[in-house]
Amino acid sequence: MGQLLINGLGTGLIVALPSIALSLSFGILKFPNFAIGAMLTTAAYIAWSLNIHAGLPLLAAGALCIILFPMVALLCDAAVFRPLRSRGPVTLLVASMGLSFVLDNVCRLIFGNDARNFDIALSRPYRVWGLRINYELLVSAGVSIGAMILVFLILKHTSIGRAMRAVADNPNLAAARGIDAKRVIAATWILAGVLIAASGVLIGMDRAIDPQLGWNYIIVCFAAAILGGLGNPAGAVFGALLLGVVGELATLVVATNYRSGVGFLVIALVLLSRPNGLFGTREIVK
């Protein structure tokens, strides 16, 4: 039971980062970014290339990936989303699906279909009160928690963070306060890029990297963001942790194949009683 809890929290912490990115993009850019899975895959491959081909240690490769990937995110915005910004959320959602296929296939074209692994030394798990805790799990937890704290400090205590919250709340009023939406959109992509890159590296440490990597996480990222209340980054973290833990604990009573199903059952039950998610607020449309 304790082991399942630890594993569930570990999974939840890794998923929390792209879920925050998804929640931010939904709140500020006003569309659900379906390309988030393919972006995770791309970030993992960038880190893998830096680690294996450039010969950088994983820590340096991961850090460089976190610096470089926001530029990829900005490029995606400039090429795909910016020209379609005024067309509304459905158009942007469809465009993000298209981007997803493009990124996936670029990865497939460059890196092939074979599974790849980081150059990472195998280590014996630590034993604490009879529980096995992997080195990778500790790194994942540390990076995820650090990144989450950083995001919340940025949102709460910096002017660009306040501007991001303002645009998410009321774009017209934000403009009337002199806030330049372009600057906020760029900051959102940079922050989302950092989170996606960090998560891509952590997922690559946890499992093999292949062109399908992102597809395994996209549904759970959406589920976490929706469960927490779309547009609410703290809610996305809670949703990711809850789904991770429920998924693992479910294996006590159902076959492991069905653990995702149990997570979605939880979502269905939550949304039936709280249609805007656990921490979502009802949108007032005038």
Partner 1 sequence: MPGVVTVSDLRTGYGGDDIINGVSFDVHPGEILTIVGPNGSGKSTLIKSLAGIVPARQGTISLFGENVTALKTPQRIAKGLAYVPQEFNVFRNMTIAENLKLSTEFLGLRSHDGNQERTRVLEMFPDIADRQDLLAGNLSGGQRQMLAFACALISSPEVLLLDEPSAGLSPKLVIEIFEKVKAVNELGTTIVMVEQNVAASLPFSDRAIVLVNGAIRHESSAAELSARGDLHELFLKEA
* CA 99 distance to own-chain centroid: 16
* Nearest to partner 1 of 86, 257 (CB atom): 86
Asked if 226 and 148 count as a contact pair (C-beta separation under 8 A), the reply is no
* CA 158 distance to own-chain centroid: 22
Residues of this chain that bind partner 1 (CB under 8 A): 159, 162-163, 165-166, 169-170, 172-173, 175-181, 284, 286
- CA-closest candidate to residue 28, choices 72, 77, 101: 77
- The one-letter amino acid at 201: V
Asked if 240 and 195 count as a contact pair (C-beta separation under 8 A), the reply is no
* Nearest to partner 1 of 179, 185 (CB atom): 179
* Nearest to partner 1 of 56, 191 (CB atom): 191
Q: Is 282 exposed, middle or buried (0-12, 13-18, 19+ CB in 10 A)?
A: exposed
* Nearest to partner 1 of 107, 164 (CB atom): 164
Q: How far is the CB of 179 from partner 1 (least distance, A)?
A: 5
Q: Say which DSSP state 208 is in.
A: -
* Nearest to partner 1 of 116, 165 (CB atom): 165
Q: How far is the CB of 79 from partner 1 (least distance, A)?
A: 23
Q: Exposed e or buried b for every residue in 196-230, given b needs 16+ CB within 10 A?
A: bbbbbbbbbbeeebbbebbeebbebbbbbbbbbbb
Q: How far is the CB of 242 from partner 1 (least distance, A)?
A: 23
Q: How far is the CB of 30 from partner 1 (least distance, A)?
A: 16
* Nearest to partner 1 of 155, 192 (CB atom): 155
* Nearest to partner 1 of 168, 267 (CB atom): 168
Q: How far is the CB of 48 from partner 1 (least distance, A)?
A: 39
Beta carbons within 8 Å of 183's beta carbon, 6+ residues apart: 160, 163
Q: How far is the CB of 138 from partner 1 (least distance, A)?
A: 34
- CA-closest candidate to residue 5, choices 128, 110, 99, 106: 128
CA distances from 65 to 128, 133, 215 (A): 32, 26, 20
Q: How far is the CB of 180 from partner 1 (least distance, A)?
A: 5
